[in-house]
């Protein structure tokens, strides 16, 4: 592989500082960084460094989502893969364009956004809408704040919310029944549109409950990646075991949803679905395991993580029961994201006392 | 560049009320989902601002300091009501689309601010040129925003379909959130072209 | 003291001038504005009864064909055919939609159950979504539907003769229209245009 | 008002339960370490300053003959230790020299006077003297003997005996911690004190006698405790054993764990709290100084590194790091020589700089020689990581490896929280980085960076490879951190150059 490294180095040297080609240097360097681990050693303490890096951190999230992705191809055909590719290409162009314009390094956070975003869309979403959504998500959800690490909101969810308010028809009424049995979607490109309702939508509109077994296995209409509770749990456990996702957030989020929906079924039995159904149906597991645990937008201190999950649960149950939308995970995560710095600050105030302003 | 041009360009670009001073947002966000609305509102504000600037610059020195704001308000309100009645009488459809926002021109801080900061201290000619520049800047901002919003939100411009019948409307662009997004993006672009000098 | 007098007189002066100017303009524009409004209503009434007048003859046609009655405070527009039989009854219905007040004009057959036409007079619904209730595509559906037992708006695939397809993505507004029509027509039927009253009107 | 000075709700006491990272375990070179004595080369350069102490004026001139153990510089009034000649020979030169400044562990060029002595081998052996019965000496006599013979606290700080014997009143010293815990990988000690166990035990008692008010705490690895056997001869000496998990070897951590941490919240030096931390070699030196009246003329340095086998060498003061490492396996000029441990030490800019007495260890780091293709995708069975992102973390019995590569590029903080999880003193390094990089001085101070014990674990685990050690150090000492420009560094250059803070005249003030 040395020839490759050398030729990349030559290319990087060749383009550096030249008019019009200057931008290519960053891209070449990034390609080199992706393929080869850096051989630099630390120049200041500590002189030993942990083997983990952001690239691997993000790659592990993608690995965690692989089971759900495979399931989406099985249930909805190869079009699911096309949506993911469109998301990566369109969002990647926006991401690279921005970092080049700002003369910054290309960061790895997009690896995750690019795959999480298509998985929270309805399976029939037109490909151009996928592209619009991911571009808006990258620009308005991340780049306006300064890039990965500085964003307040989960970029994938920003893109999803933008699509929800912009294309309400495509985003809220075009659900399809997944394919099951035999090779199912593996032999097909996509599903001819057969409009159907998600389990949560059915409960909100008609008050009927879908069987828990179907919901658990994922043979129900829903977003691309969210249907199969089983595979999501497998992926989520992987993230928790590898310490990429903190177990506190999913636990308190899911626990709080369980507790409040249990309470709600007593008070408003027609509006609040029963706990286990709430847990498995819709995007809750996906949101709790892959979206709420996004380290950048979630609180970082342990106490704040518990509070964060608690509020997420309250919001989700309330939106599902009392708003016009049958699903509330996306909105609650975005809303509570806004408060995570505040929650961290409350923990710090508890631990260290308030900020002491010098006398003037 | 002579003085007159400078005053005009200042209002149109460097002191653009929407993009630079971030004023008049209520109207800007509410009515810019169609270009026709933007143009009408631009013309209405142009008329009100130029006329009241002229009058204020003429009578300014006779008005006691302590009652100047009520006097300005009266003058503005008179012209706004004129515009409102005129629109209702001769452009019923437009007046319905603009709704209460024509009346709200009265409280638009662009106008009061200009009267207070410029017209009351300058001669009639400069005041009219400044008013024209500012309101041209306002109109330009409204049109820029409404072009984006109508194009994406309806696929049309001035009500004429330009993006083909297969266009899926971007509903959020028609709503206030889309207004905020477009405003933010345009402010961003404007400031990237000519950065704000601080200090 | 002199200062205060000067202040008050300037204010008064400006106010007077402004009042005079506005008064003059109002005198000239008021009739036009009123005429415009009346015209709009007439157009809607005629349209709901499927009469398409020539552009400059709206007023004449309206006077010719429509009889306006005040019944218990409710303005009702009636149309009789050439034989003197009652053909259409139209009146305003209103209620809250998703965003604001929705005002519509409904035209019914004398049985007060079959819809002849529906016109939206005023609405503040979401443009592009709820506001699509003003589009012909939606309004055309109502023609011939029967309020028996009441109008029903379904998400898609309306089949019964009391069912209407909702606007996709704007179920709330569609449901609001359903509620407005059902409630207001029922209200008019039981309080103003009672069966006795209708008897009178029909045989006039 | 005390409430505002002392922060409430501090959880410092919990530190006793917090466990660190056992990186020492991964040190494959760790075997039973031998003490190897080495003679000097042709000459030595003795710096006239040691660790914490002040710089001294020489009492010899070029051309003078000196004997081993002869005092060549002293200043009894200042905070310093007398400097002895470590060899017998002729003074060649007295001049300014580069010196490894222990206090900040940076390098201050040409500030310290050094004495260059040509070695005359005929004088090498130390004369035998009559043993002194230390039990009959008064505490003040013991302390003055320690001072005269140049016994410092050695270890990380090298507090001069002048400091701890005369600068402070001895009755202020309430606790003495003898730190024999080595927690950083590639730093070692001789587990069983082979051949010196008696001296060590006596040394402890000598120190106890010298400080009759103080309690002596001996902190050792469990395996050392076994070797030491019974130490119950003195009531005031207690032995505590600590696992060799990383921050345990740091004096401040030990002080908190042994004494309870509440009173240490405000940072500062342990001496300010009446706690004296001594290195494990101090009792041996104390024995030599008091009983045999031998001045300290040698230093013991542990040599280690991922690629070299471990050894503890005893050499005359004034040898350079290069000379020490000369015999080490595969040492090349471009390798990094690190003073202290790999997590807390500093890199030496040149191996030619002579070493003083207080150098506990040198670690030789070799750069990664090849880059692994798509390393971030490979499961990486033997890689050590705090996160469980590699297979090795799931298979606890697997051999794991440490190496000196940075393993990734510098990235903005993603708030993963690893730094707060490993922090032994429960501060939030990532928050200090965030607030510090926006110059929010009040917020930084609220986060109590002064609690930091410089263990380096936060920077070790950081996936974004942020220089958190430096961030915390700046936050702690400067109060106006230089973190602002940390993320900006030139690609292709190895070093991350911090830019100095802008002075008060920067234009932000004028703009407002």
Paired strand residues for D217: D177, D238
Yes or no, beta carbons of D414 and A41 under 8 Å apart: no
Q: Which domains does chain D have, with CATH numbers?
A: 35-122+295-365 (no CATH), 134-291 (3.40.50.11540), 406-511 (no CATH)
Residue A146 in contact with partner chain B when CB distance is under 8 A: no
Q: What is the C-alpha separation between B58 and D176, in angstroms, rounded?
A: 89
pLDDT at D151: 87
pLDDT at A247: 93
Q: At residue D506, does pLDDT exceed 60?
A: no
Q: How confident is the model at residue C21 (pLDDT cuts 50, 70, 90)?
A: very high
Q: What is the C-alpha separation between B187 and A58, in angstroms, rounded?
A: 33
User: Per-residue pLDDT averaged across B6-35, rounded?
Assistant: 86
Chain D residue whose CA is closest to B199: D511
- Type and span of the H or E element at D215: strand D215-220
Q: What is the C-alpha separation between B115 and B124, in angstroms, rounded?
A: 12
Q: Is B23 helix (H, G, I), strand (E, B) or coil?
A: coil
Q: What is the C-alpha separation between C160 and C145, in angstroms, rounded?
A: 9
Kind of pairing between the strands at D346-347 and D311-316 = unpaired
Q: How confident is the model at residue D20 (pLDDT cuts 50, 70, 90)?
A: low
Interface subset of B 179-198, CB within 8 angstroms of D: 198
pLDDT at A304: 94
Please state the domain extents for chain A.
15-36+54-194, 245-344
- Type and span of the H or E element at C79: strand C74-80
Cis, bond preceding C149 (omega within 30 deg of 0): yes
User: Per-residue pLDDT averaged across A329-355, rounded?
Assistant: 91
- Other C-beta atoms closer than 10 Å to the C-beta of A7 total 12
pLDDT at D102: 46
Q: What is the C-alpha separation between C172 and A205, in angstroms, rounded?
A: 12
Q: At residue A137, does pLDDT exceed 80?
A: yes
Q: Tokens standing for A106?
A: 């290309």
Chain C residue whose CA is closest to A173: C169
Residue A36 in contact with partner chain D when CB distance is under 8 A: yes
- Type and span of the H or E element at C80: strand C74-80
Task: Tell me the pLDDT tens digit for each residue of D319-349.
Answer: 888 888 876 666 777 788 888 888 888 888 7
pLDDT at C204: 60
- Give whole-number Cα distances, C180 to A51, C154, C183, in Å: 66, 15, 5
Q: At residue D502, does pLDDT exceed 50?
A: no
The percentage of residues in chain D with a pLDDT greater than 90, rounded to a whole number, is 3
Q: What is the C-alpha separation between C98 and C175, in angstroms, rounded?
A: 9
What does R_g of chain B's alpha carbons equal in angstroms? 18
Q: At residue A136, does pLDDT exceed 90?
A: yes
Q: Tokens standing for B151?
A: 């194009």
The reply to whether C175 falls in a domain is yes
- Hey, which bits of chain B come out as E strands? 156-157, 160-161
Q: At residue C19, does pLDDT exceed 90?
A: yes
Residue numbers in A near B170 (CB within 8 A): 166-167
Q: At residue D3, does pLDDT exceed 60?
A: no
Residue numbers in B near A144 (CB within 8 A): 184, 188
Residue C159 in contact with partner chain A when CB distance is under 8 A: no
Identify the CA nearest to A81 among candidates A202, A227, A225: A225
More confident residue, B168 or D260: B168
pLDDT at D232: 64
- Type and span of the H or E element at D153: none
**Lowest-confidence range among C1-5, C16-20, D495-499?**
D495-499
**Lowest-confidence range among A224-233, D224-233, D288-297, D354-363?**
D224-233
- Other C-beta atoms closer than 10 Å to the C-beta of A93 total 14
Q: At residue D165, does pLDDT exceed 60?
A: no
Yes or no, beta carbons of B75 and C15 under 8 Å apart: no
pLDDT at D484: 38
Q: At residue A177, does pLDDT exceed 90?
A: no
pLDDT at D478: 61
Q: At residue D494, does pLDDT exceed 50?
A: no
What does R_g of chain C's alpha carbons equal in angstroms? 22
The reply to whether C7 falls in a domain is no
Q: How confident is the model at residue A289 (pLDDT cuts 50, 70, 90)?
A: very high
Q: Is D327 helix (H, G, I), strand (E, B) or coil?
A: coil
Determine the structural domain holding residue B131 and report its residue range: 17-193
Residue numbers in C near A173 (CB within 8 A): 155, 168-169
- Tell me what percent of chain C is helix, strand and coil, each rounded to the nearest 5: 50, 25, 30
**Lowest-confidence range among A211-225, B63-77, B94-108, B161-175?**
B94-108
Q: Tokens standing for D125?
A: 């052996």
Q: At residue D103, does pLDDT exceed 60?
A: no
pLDDT at A300: 93
Q: What DSSP string describes A161-208?
A: HHHHHH-HHHHHS-B-PPP-STTGGGG-S------B--HHHHHHHH--
- Give whole-number Cα distances, C53 to C39, C49, C68, D88, in Å: 12, 11, 18, 126
pLDDT at B192: 84
- Nearest-Cα distance to chain B for D436, in Å, is 24
The reply to whether C18 falls in a domain is no
User: Per-residue pLDDT averaged across C87-110, rounded?
Assistant: 84
The reply to whether B1 falls in a domain is no
- Give whole-number Cα distances, B9 to B41, B121, B132, in Å: 20, 19, 10
Who among A38, A344, A354 is closest to D408 (CB)? A38
Chain B residue whose CA is closest to D511: B199
Phi and psi angles of residue A177, each rounded to the nearest 5 degrees, phi first: -70, 135
pLDDT at B144: 93
Task: Tell me the pLDDT tens digit for each residue of C130-148.
Answer: 778 888 888 888 888 887 7
Paired strand residues for D320: D354
Q: At residue D90, does pLDDT exceed 70?
A: yes
Q: What is the C-alpha separation between C43 and C49, in angstroms, rounded?
A: 10
Task: Tell me the pLDDT tens digit for each residue of D392-410.
Answer: 777 777 777 777 778 888 8
pLDDT at D2: 30
pLDDT at A263: 94
Number of domains in chain B: 1
Q: How confident is the model at residue D164 (pLDDT cuts 50, 70, 90)?
A: low
For chain C, the straight-line distance linking the first and the last C-alpha, in angstroms and rounded, comes to 74
Assess contact for B129 and B4: CB atoms under 8 A.
yes
Q: How confident is the model at residue D511 (pLDDT cuts 50, 70, 90)?
A: very low
Residue C154 in contact with partner chain A when CB distance is under 8 A: no
Number of domains in chain C: 1
DSSP designation for A358: P
Q: In which order are the strands placed within the sheet that holds D336-339?
A: D35-37, D311-316, D298-304, D361-365, D336-339, D346-347
User: Per-residue pLDDT averaged across D492-499, rounded?
Assistant: 37
Assess contact for A113 and A156: CB atoms under 8 A.
yes
Assess contact for D66 and D91: CB atoms under 8 A.
yes
- Mean pLDDT, chain A, as a whole number? 87
Yes or no, beta carbons of A51 and D390 under 8 Å apart: yes
Phi and psi angles of residue C104, each rounded to the nearest 5 degrees, phi first: -135, 165
Q: Tokens standing for D491?
A: 């690609």
pLDDT at A155: 94
ipTM of model over 0.95:
no
Q: At residue A133, does pLDDT exceed 80?
A: yes
User: Per-residue pLDDT averaged across D247-272, rounded?
Assistant: 76
Q: How confident is the model at residue A127 (pLDDT cuts 50, 70, 90)?
A: very high
Q: How confident is the model at residue A359 (pLDDT cuts 50, 70, 90)?
A: low
pLDDT at D30: 53
Q: At residue D492, does pLDDT exceed 80?
A: no
Q: At residue D306, does pLDDT exceed 60?
A: yes
- Mean pLDDT, chain B, as a whole number? 87
Sign of the alpha-carbon torsion through C20, C22, C25, C27: negative
- Other C-beta atoms closer than 10 Å to the C-beta of D80 total 26
pLDDT at A358: 65
pLDDT at D18: 44
Q: At residue D489, does pLDDT exceed 50?
A: no
Assess contact for D146 and D115: CB atoms under 8 A.
no
- Other C-beta atoms closer than 10 Å to the C-beta of A347 total 19
pLDDT at D13: 34
**Lowest-confidence range among C33-42, D117-126, D498-507?**
D498-507
- Nearest-Cα distance to chain A for D108, in Å, is 17
- Type and span of the H or E element at D341: none
- Type and span of the H or E element at C165: strand C163-165
Assess contact for C118 and C139: CB atoms under 8 A.
yes
**Chain Cα centroid distance, residue D163:** 18
pLDDT at D28: 52
- Hey, which bits of D51-106 come out as E strands? 65-66, 71-73, 83-84, 89-100
Q: What is the C-alpha separation between B9 and A316, in angstroms, rounded?
A: 51
- Give whole-number Cα distances, C108 to C73, C86, C88, C145, in Å: 19, 11, 6, 10
**Lowest-confidence range among C57-71, D20-34, D44-58, D283-297?**
D20-34
Chain C residue whose CA is closest to B69: C11
Q: Chain A interface, mutation test: which of B151, B166, B168, most A Cβ atoms within 10 Å?
A: B168
Q: What is the C-alpha separation between A16 and A32, in angstroms, rounded?
A: 14
Assess contact for A249 and A308: CB atoms under 8 A.
yes
Q: At residue A317, does pLDDT exceed 80?
A: yes
**Lowest-confidence range among B80-89, B119-128, D167-176?**
D167-176
The reply to whether B12 falls in a domain is no
Residue numbers in C near A324 (CB within 8 A): 172
Q: Tokens standing for A341?
A: 């710095």
Q: How confident is the model at residue D112 (pLDDT cuts 50, 70, 90)?
A: confident
Yes or no, beta carbons of C169 and A168 under 8 Å apart: yes
Q: At residue B60, does pLDDT exceed 90?
A: no
The reply to whether C6 falls in a domain is no
């Amino acid at each position: 592989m040395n020839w490759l490294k050398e030729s990349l180095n030559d290319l990087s040297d060749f383009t550096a500082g030249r008019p019009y080609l200057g931008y290519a240097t960053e891209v070449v360097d990034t390609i080199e960084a992706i393929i080869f681990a850096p051989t630099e050693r630390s120049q200041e303490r500590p002189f030993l460094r942990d083997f983990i890096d952001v690239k691997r951190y993000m790659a592990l999230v993608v690995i965690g989502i692989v089971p759900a992705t495979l399931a989406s191809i099985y249930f909805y055909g190869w079009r699911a893969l096309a949506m993911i590719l469109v998301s990566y290409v369109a969002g990647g162009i926006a991401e690279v364009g921005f970092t080049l314009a700002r003369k910054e390094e290309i960061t790895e956070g997009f690896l995750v956004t690019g795959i999480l975003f298509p998985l929270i869309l309805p399976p029939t979403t037109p490909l151009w809408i996928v592209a619009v959504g991911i571009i808006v998500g990258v620009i308005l959800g991340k780049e306006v704040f300064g890039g990965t690490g500085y964003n307040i909101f989960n970029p994938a969810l920003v893109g999803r919310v933008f699509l929800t308010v912009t294309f309400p028809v495509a985003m809220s009424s075009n659900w399809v029944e997944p394919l099951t049995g035999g090779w199912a979607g593996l032999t097909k490109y996509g599903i001819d549109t057969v409009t159907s309702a998600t389990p949560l939508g059915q409960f909100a509109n008609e008050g009927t409950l879908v069987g828990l077994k179907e919901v658990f296995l994922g043979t129900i209409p829903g977003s691309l990646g969210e249907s199969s509770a089983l595979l999501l749990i497998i992926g989520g456990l992987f993230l928790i075991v590898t310490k990429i996702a903190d177990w506190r957030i999913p636990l308190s989020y899911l626990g709080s949803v369980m507790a409040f929906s249990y309470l709600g079924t007593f008070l408003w039995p027609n509006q609040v679905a029963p706990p286990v159904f709430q847990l498995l149906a819709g995007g809750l597991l996906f949101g709790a395991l892959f979206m709420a645990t996004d380290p950048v937008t979630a609180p970082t201190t342990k106490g704040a993580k518990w509070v964060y999950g608690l509020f997420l649960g309250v919001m989700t149950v309330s939106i599902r029961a009392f708003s016009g939308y049958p699903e509330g995970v996306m909105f609650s995560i975005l809303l509570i994201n806004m408060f995570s710095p505040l929650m961290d600050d409350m923990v710090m105030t508890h631990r260290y006392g308030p900020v002491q302003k010098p006398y003037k | 560049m002579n003085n007159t041009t400078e005053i005009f360009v200042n209002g149109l670009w460097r002191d653009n009320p929407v993009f630079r001073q971030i004023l008049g947002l209520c109207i800007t966000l509410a009515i810019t989902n169609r270009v026709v609305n933007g143009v009408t509102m631009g013309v209405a504000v142009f008329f009100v601002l130029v006329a009241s600037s002229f009058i204020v610059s003429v009578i300014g020195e006779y008005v006691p300091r302590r009652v100047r704001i009520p006097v300005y308000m009266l003058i503005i309100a008179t012209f706004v009501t004129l515009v409102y009645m005129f629109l209702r009488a001769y452009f019923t459809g437009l007046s319905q689309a603009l709704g209460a926002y024509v009346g709200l021109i009265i409280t638009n801080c662009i106008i009061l601010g200009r009267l207070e900061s410029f017209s009351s201290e300058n001669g009639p000619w400069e005041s009219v040129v400044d008013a024209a520049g500012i309101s041209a800047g306002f109109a330009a901002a409204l049109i820029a925003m409404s072009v984006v919003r109508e194009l994406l939100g309806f696929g049309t411009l001035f009500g004429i379909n330009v993006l083909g019948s297969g266009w899926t409307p971007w509903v959020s662009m028609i709503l206030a959130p889309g207004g905020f997004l477009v405003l933010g993006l345009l402010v961003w672009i404007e400031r990237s072209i000519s950065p704000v000098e601080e200090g | 003291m002199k200062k205060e007098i000067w202040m008050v007189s300037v204010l008064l002066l400006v106010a007077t001038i402004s009042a005079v100017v506005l008064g003059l303009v109002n005198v000239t524009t008021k009739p036009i504005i009123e005429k415009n409004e009346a015209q709009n209503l007439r157009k809607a009434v005629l349209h709901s009864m499927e009469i398409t007048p020539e552009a400059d003859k709206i007023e004449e046609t309206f006077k010719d064909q429509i009889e306006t009655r005040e019944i218990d405070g409710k303005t009702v527009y009636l149309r009789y055919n050439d034989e003197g039989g009652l053909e259409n009854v139209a009146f305003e219905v209103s209620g809250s939609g998703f965003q604001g007040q929705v005002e519509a004009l409904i035209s019914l057959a004398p049985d007060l159950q079959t819809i002849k036409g529906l016109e939206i007079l005023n609405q503040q619904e979401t443009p592009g979504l709820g506001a699509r209730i003003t589009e012909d595509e939606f309004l055309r559906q109502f023609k011939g539907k029967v309020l028996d037992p009441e109008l029903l708006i379904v998400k898609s695939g309306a089949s019964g003769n009391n069912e209407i397809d909702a606007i996709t993505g704007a179920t709330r507004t569609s449901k609001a229209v359903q509620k407005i029509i059902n409630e207001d027509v029922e209200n008019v039927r039981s309080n103003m245009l009672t069966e006795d009253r209708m008897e009178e009107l029909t045989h006039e | 008002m005390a409430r505002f000075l002392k922060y409430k709700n501090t959880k410092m006491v919990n530190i006793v339960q917090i466990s660190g990272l056992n990186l020492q375990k991964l040190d494959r070179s760790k075997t039973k370490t031998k003490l190897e004595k080495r003679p000097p080369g042709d000459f030595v350069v003795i710096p006239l300053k040691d660790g914490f102490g002040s710089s001294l004026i020489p009492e010899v001139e070029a051309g003078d003959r000196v004997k081993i153990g002869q005092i060549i510089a002293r200043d009894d009034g200042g905070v310093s230790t007398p400097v002895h000649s470590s060899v017998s020979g002729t003074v060649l030169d007295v001049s300014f020299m580069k010196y490894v400044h222990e206090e900040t562990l940076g390098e201050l060029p040409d500030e310290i006077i050094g004495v260059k002595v040509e070695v005359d081998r005929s004088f090498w052996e130390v004369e035998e003297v009559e043993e002194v019965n230390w039990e009959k000496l008064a505490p003040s006599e013991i302390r003055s003997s320690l001072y005269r013979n140049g016994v410092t606290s050695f270890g990380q700080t090298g507090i001069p005996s002048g400091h701890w014997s005369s600068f402070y009143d001895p009755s202020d010293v309430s606790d003495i911690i003898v730190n024999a815990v080595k927690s950083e990988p590639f730093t070692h000690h001789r587990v069983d004190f082979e051949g010196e166990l008696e001296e060590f035990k006596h040394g402890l008692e000598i120190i106890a006698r010298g400080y009759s008010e103080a309690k002596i705490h001996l902190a050792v690895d469990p395996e050392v405790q076994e070797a030491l056997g019974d130490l119950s001869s003195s009531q005031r000496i207690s032995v505590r054993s600590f696992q060799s998990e990383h921050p345990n070897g740091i004096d401040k951590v030990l002080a908190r764990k042994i004494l309870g941490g509440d009173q240490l919240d405000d940072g500062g030096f342990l001496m300010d709290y009446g706690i004296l931390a001594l290195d494990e070699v101090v009792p041996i030196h104390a024995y030599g100084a008091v009983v045999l009246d031998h001045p300290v003329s040698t230093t013991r340095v542990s040599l280690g590194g991922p690629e070299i086998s471990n050894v503890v060498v005893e050499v005359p003061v004034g040898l350079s790091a290069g000379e020490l490492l000369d015999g080490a396996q595969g040492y090349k000029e471009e390798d990094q020589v690190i003073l202290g441990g790999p997590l807390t030490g500093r890199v030496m800019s040149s191996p030619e700089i002579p070493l003083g007495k207080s150098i506990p260890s040198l670690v030789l780091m070799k750069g990664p020689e090849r880059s692994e293709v798509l390393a971030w995708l490979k499961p990486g069975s033997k890689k050590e990581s705090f996160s469980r992102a590699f297979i090795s973390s799931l298979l606890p019995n697997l051999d794991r490896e440490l190496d000196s590569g940075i393993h990734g590029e510098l990235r903005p903080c993603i708030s993963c929280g690893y730094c707060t999880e490993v922090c032994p003193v429960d501060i939030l390094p990532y928050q200090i980085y965030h607030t510090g990089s926006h110059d929010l001085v009040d917020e930084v101070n609220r986060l109590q960076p002064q609690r930091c014990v410089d263990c380096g674990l936060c920077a070790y685990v950081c996936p974004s490879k942020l220089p958190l050690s430096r961030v915390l150090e700046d936050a702690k000492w400067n109060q106006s951190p230089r973190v602002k420009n940390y993320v900006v560094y030139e690609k292709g250059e190895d070093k991350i150059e911090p830019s100095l803070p802008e002075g008060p005249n920067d234009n932000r003030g004028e703009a407002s």
